[in-house]
Amino acid sequence: MSQVAHQSYAIQYCVTRARRRREKFSKLCAEVKFGDPSAVIALQTYLDEKYHGARVRARVEAVEAEERPSLRFYQSVSSSAVTDASRLCTLLRTVVSDPHGIVRVYKEYYSSLFTRGNVDLSAQVDLLRGISKTVPHDVNDILGGGITTVELWKALSKMKNGKSPGSDGLPREFYRTFWAIIGPDIRAVFEDAFQNGLLNQSQRLGMITLLPSLGTLGSP
């Protein structure tokens, strides 16, 4: 068998295996929803095996029972991948190669990229004066009202299968399956964040993967 054939077979095997895992997960969720006690144990075993695989890839030897995956855990998963960012060119065209220096260069670059610039307030006022249309009162009442489970369900429905909205790794299918149970609690969490103006710690955690453009491995 040629190398191309080997690669094609490996890809097809991985695709088939991933599809079967998704089907198994959906089936277990459905069985749990219909009150099958044995399905709860089977689902827990499935999630434990999936988490164990992530631990192996991250090379984590020990994790406390019931411990929530931390930022360090996800960073260790990412650091196990092979990268080419061993050297980086700063904005001043100097080259850094130590890990702390590379992190500093990225921080400076993206801080400057997303920092708000000077605003011409007079131009802003002129622009707003030129807007004649306003939001109708009924629509404004809806926008200013409380968050509803219907709104959250619509947002969840727009997500793709297999995507996880949080750092716990629970995918969209889990939330859709158990929405009748967890929906009100999720609404309460978002309503609290809306009223206090601050998300909780896990909701403020995000992982961003930077993919270098072709031919620009030495630049941010």
| Number of separate domains in the chain | 3
Domain-located, residue 219: no
What is the rounded distance in angstroms from the CA atom of residue 50 to the CA atom of residue 152? 27
Q: Are the C-beta atoms of 102 and 88 separated by less than 8 Å?
A: yes
Tell me the whole-structure pTM to 2 decimals: 0.43
Question: Same domain, yes or no, for 205 and 182?
Answer: yes
Domain-located, residue 104: yes
Strand partners, 89: 95
Domain-located, residue 215: no
Question: Same domain, yes or no, for 24 and 49?
Answer: yes
Question: Same domain, yes or no, for 1 and 67?
Answer: yes
Q: Which of 83, 88, 101 is nearest to 219 (CA)?
A: 88
What is residue 149's predicted lDDT score, i.e. its pLDDT?
A: 92
Question: Same domain, yes or no, for 76 and 99?
Answer: no
Residue-wise pLDDT for 91-117, tens only, equals 556 777 777 777 788 788 778 887 877
Whether the per-residue pLDDT at 62 is higher than 50: the answer is no
Instruction: Report the SS3 class of residue 97.
Output: coil
Question: Same domain, yes or no, for 121 and 73?
Answer: no
Question: Same domain, yes or no, for 73 and 3?
Answer: yes
Domain-located, residue 171: yes
Question: Same domain, yes or no, for 159 and 120?
Answer: no
Question: Same domain, yes or no, for 65 and 123?
Answer: no
Question: Same domain, yes or no, for 65 and 108?
Answer: no
Domain-located, residue 39: yes
Domain-located, residue 214: no
**H-helix segments, the chain:** 3-33, 37-58, 71-79, 99-114, 121-129, 137-144, 149-157, 172-177, 179-196
Enclosing domain of residue 3: 1-81
Domain-located, residue 182: yes
Domain-located, residue 218: no
What is residue 2's predicted lDDT score, i.e. its pLDDT?
A: 61
Question: Same domain, yes or no, for 25 and 90?
Answer: no
Strand partners, 8: none
Mean of all residue pLDDT scores within the chain = 74
